[in-house]
Amino acid sequence: MFADKAIDFYYSYLRYSPLIKWIHNMTASIDFQTLAVNGVLGLHPYQPGKPIEELERELGVSDTLKLASNENPLGASSQALIALQDPLQTLHLYPDGSGFALKNKLATTLTLEPEQITLGNGSNDVLDLIARCFLDNTSNAIFSQHAFAVYHIVTQATGAESRVATAYSADHPSAYGHDLEAMLNLIDAQTRIIFIANPNNPTGTWLKAAELESFLQRVPPETIVVIDEAYFEYVSEEKYPDTTKWLERFHNLIVTRTFSKIYGLAALRVGYCVSHAEIADLLNRVRQPFNVNSLALAAATAALDDREQVVMSSEINRDGLAQWEKACADHDWNYIPSIGNFICVNVGPDAMDVYDALLHKGIIVRPVANYELPHHLRITIGKKEQNQRCIEALEQILND
Ligand SMILES: *Cc1c(COP(=O)(O)O)cnc(C)c1O
C-alpha cells in the first residue's frame, strides 16, 4: 500500500518538476529485455551472406565472387528489367495493394483462382504471414533439423514452440534430408503448422511426390502444411511434385514460391503462396496493405513470361551442379547431393577457416554451422568459370 502511494507520489511529482524529471531521465536504466514479448528473446538475427561491398571494404580485395545467397548468376530476367521502366513514372503513387495484375497472371499460369493467391515482400514475408495467422504461445510448429532458418524465426516470434524433427543421418541414403516419419511423430493437438522445404536450403535434399503425398494423407486436416518451393523452377527430376496441383485434395496445404531465385529478382522482394481461398483470406487480413511495391509487381508479372530466363538458368545450374559433383568426386570431397542452385560441400572440421581463406581469395560462400552442419560450406552454383575459380581456390586451401 505504502509503496503504491509512494510510486503515485513520485510519478505526479515527476510530471510537474522539470528537475526531478531530468534526474529521472539521467538515472533510469530501463531493461528493454523485460519489455520484449516472450518469443523474441530466444531469437538470433538471420545471418545473410556477406555482402560484396563489406568484404571489399574489410579486406581490400576486388573482383569478388559471391556464391553465398543462391542468387542467379545470369542476373535478373531481361523482360522484368524492361517492365521496370513503367512504374518509375508513378513512384509517387502507392502500388496496387491487391496485386491484381500479378495475381491474375499467376492464376492463369497455375490454373488456380486469383483468390487463392497471397503476395509477399519475398516469400519470407508470406512465411511470416502464415505464422502470424496460425500460431500463438499455446501452439507449436514442426520443421526438420537443417531446415531453412526462417521457419524457426517466424515461429518463435509469435511465442509458439518450434519442434525440430531430427533429419536423416549422414549415412542414410537420404542423408540430411527431412524424415517425414519423425515429423509426423511430433504432431499433437497444438500443432498448427508443419514447414517443409522441397528442396531444402541449405542441404539441397528433396522429397518425392509419393512420399510427400502419403505424408499429407496422414497429417490431421487441422494442421497446416507449408511446402516451400523456392527452387521449384530449377528442378527437372521426374518424381519431384508440383504440389500446387494438390490443393483441391488437401485444403490444409499452402505452397510458397518466389521470384528471388530463378527469375533473379531477389532485391525487389516478391514471392507468393497458393492455398485454399479461405486461408488466403486470413493471410490477407494480417498482410500490410502495400507489402509488395510497384516495381516488384511489374517486374514479377513480366518475368512470368520469360521462358528463356527459366530455361537458361536451369541449364546453367544443371551443368554447374554436374561440374561440382565431378570436382568433389575427383578430390574426394563429400557433398550432399542437391537439386537446388547450391551445394553443401564437406570441407572438414575447420570449415570456418576454409571459409575465411576463401574470403581472402575474394570468394564469399556460406558457413552453415548454424544449421548444425559445422563441417560443410554451402556454395551457390555459378557460371562455369565462377565454379572453376571456386573449385581451384578450395583445392589450394584444402591441400595446404
Ligand atoms: C531463398 C529461399 C526463399 C526465398 O526467400 P525470398 O524471401 O522469397 O527471397 C524461401 N525459402 C527458401 C528455402 C529459400 O532458400
pLDDT of residue 288: 95
Domain 78-306 fold:
Aspartate Aminotransferase; domain 2 (3.40.640)
pLDDT of residue 41: 87
Cα–Cα distance for residue pair 137/335, rounded to 1 Å: 38
Q: Residue 3 Cα, ligand 1 centroid: separation in angstroms?
A: 53
Task: Tell me which of 201, 232, 254, 293 to substitute to probe ligand 1's pocket, judged by most ligand atoms within 8 Å of the beta carbon.
Answer: 201
**Phi, psi of 25, deg, nearest 5:** -65, -35
Give tens-digit pLDDT for 192-216.
999 999 999 999 999 999 999 999 9
- The SS3 of residue 326 is helix
Q: Residue 129 Cα, ligand 1 centroid: separation in angstroms?
A: 14
Give tens-digit pLDDT for 243-253.
999 999 999 99
Percent of the chain with pLDDT over 70: 97
Q: Residue 258 Cα, ligand 1 centroid: separation in angstroms?
A: 7
Confidence category of residue 47, pLDDT binned at 50, 70, 90: confident
Distance of CA 152 to the CA centre of its chain: 11
Q: Residue 206 Cα, ligand 1 centroid: separation in angstroms?
A: 15
Q: Residue 124 Cα, ligand 1 centroid: separation in angstroms?
A: 6
Over residues 353-379, mean pLDDT:
97
CATH 3.90.1150.10 residue window(s) in the chain: 52-66+308-399
* Of 98, 3, 51, 96, residue with least CA distance to 267: 51
259 lines ligand 1 (CB under 6 A): no
Q: 19 pLDDT exceeds 90?
A: no
Nearby residues of 172 by Cβ (< 8 Å), 6 or more positions away? none
Closest residue by CA, ligand 1 atom 14: 230
* Of 181, 185, 142, 180, residue with least CA distance to 160: 142
Q: How many CB atoms lie within 10 A of CB 87?
A: 17
pLDDT of residue 8: 73
Q: Residue 125 Cα, ligand 1 centroid: separation in angstroms?
A: 10
Cα–Cα distance for residue pair 360/33, rounded to 1 Å: 38
Closest residue by CA, ligand 1 atom 3: 230
For ligand 1, what atom is nearest to the CA of residue 197? 13
Q: Residue 199 Cα, ligand 1 centroid: separation in angstroms?
A: 11
pLDDT of residue 21: 75
Q: 87 pLDDT exceeds 80?
A: yes
Cα–Cα distance for residue pair 150/47, rounded to 1 Å: 10
* Of 260, 226, 46, residue with least CA distance to 153: 46
Strands 376-380 and 191-197: unpaired
Written as nine digits, the cell of 247 is 490443393
* Spatial contact of 154 and 126, defined as CB atoms under 8 Å apart: no
CATH 3.40.640.10 residue window(s) in the chain: 78-306
Q: Facing residues of 336 across strands?
A: 344
Task: Tell me which of 148, 255, 293, 381 to substitute to probe ligand 1's pocket, judged by most ligand atoms within 8 Å of the beta carbon.
Answer: 148
201 lines ligand 1 (CB under 6 A): yes
Q: 37 pLDDT exceeds 60?
A: yes
Q: 9 pLDDT exceeds 80?
A: no
144 lines ligand 1 (CB under 6 A): no
Q: What is the mean pLDDT of the chain?
A: 95
- The SS3 of residue 260 is coil
Instruction: Write down the architecture of domain 52-66+308-399 according to CATH.
Output: Alpha-Beta Complex (3.90)
**Phi, psi of 69, deg, nearest 5:** -130, 20
- The SS3 of residue 316 is helix
Cα–Cα distance for residue pair 182/185, rounded to 1 Å: 5
pLDDT of residue 10: 67
* Spatial contact of 323 and 316, defined as CB atoms under 8 Å apart: no
Q: How would you class 184 by CB atoms within 10 Å of its CB: exposed for 0-12, middle for 13-18, buried for 19 or more?
A: middle
Q: 1 pLDDT exceeds 60?
A: no
pLDDT of residue 105: 98
Kindly calculate the radius of gyration of the chain based on its CA atoms and give it in whole angstroms: 24
* Spatial contact of 77 and 400, defined as CB atoms under 8 Å apart: no
* Spatial contact of 359 and 60, defined as CB atoms under 8 Å apart: no
Give tens-digit pLDDT for 265-320.
999 999 999 999 999 999 999 999 999 999 999 999 999 999 999 999 999 999 99
The DSSP output letter for 139 is -
Task: Tell me which of 118, 124, 151 to substitute to probe ligand 1's pocket, judged by most ligand atoms within 8 Å of the beta carbon.
Answer: 124
**Phi, psi of 87, deg, nearest 5:** -65, -15
Q: Residue 397 Cα, ligand 1 centroid: separation in angstroms?
A: 30
Give tens-digit pLDDT for 151-166.
999 999 999 999 999 9
pLDDT of residue 2: 64
The DSSP output letter for 132 is H
Confidence category of residue 116, pLDDT binned at 50, 70, 90: very high
Q: 101 to each of 33, 82, 90, 115, 117, how far by Cα in Å?
A: 43, 17, 16, 13, 12
Q: Residue 200 Cα, ligand 1 centroid: separation in angstroms?
A: 10
- The SS3 of residue 216 is helix
Cα–Cα distance for residue pair 37/18, rounded to 1 Å: 32
Q: Write down the H helix ranges in 304-350.
A: 307-331
Least confident among 9-13, 170-174, 301-305: 9-13
Over residues 129-154, mean pLDDT:
97
Q: 42 pLDDT exceeds 70?
A: yes
Cα–Cα distance for residue pair 114/130, rounded to 1 Å: 18
**Using N-to-C axis directions, what is the helix angle for 384-399 and 351-360, rounded to 10°?**
120
Give the total residue count for the chain: 400
pTM of the prediction?
0.92
* Spatial contact of 123 and 6, defined as CB atoms under 8 Å apart: no
Cα–Cα distance for residue pair 234/230, rounded to 1 Å: 9
Q: Residue 262 Cα, ligand 1 centroid: separation in angstroms?
A: 11
70 lines ligand 1 (CB under 6 A): yes
Closest residue by CA, ligand 1 atom 2: 230
Over residues 93-112, mean pLDDT:
98
341 lines ligand 1 (CB under 6 A): no
Written as nine digits, the cell of 381 is 552454383
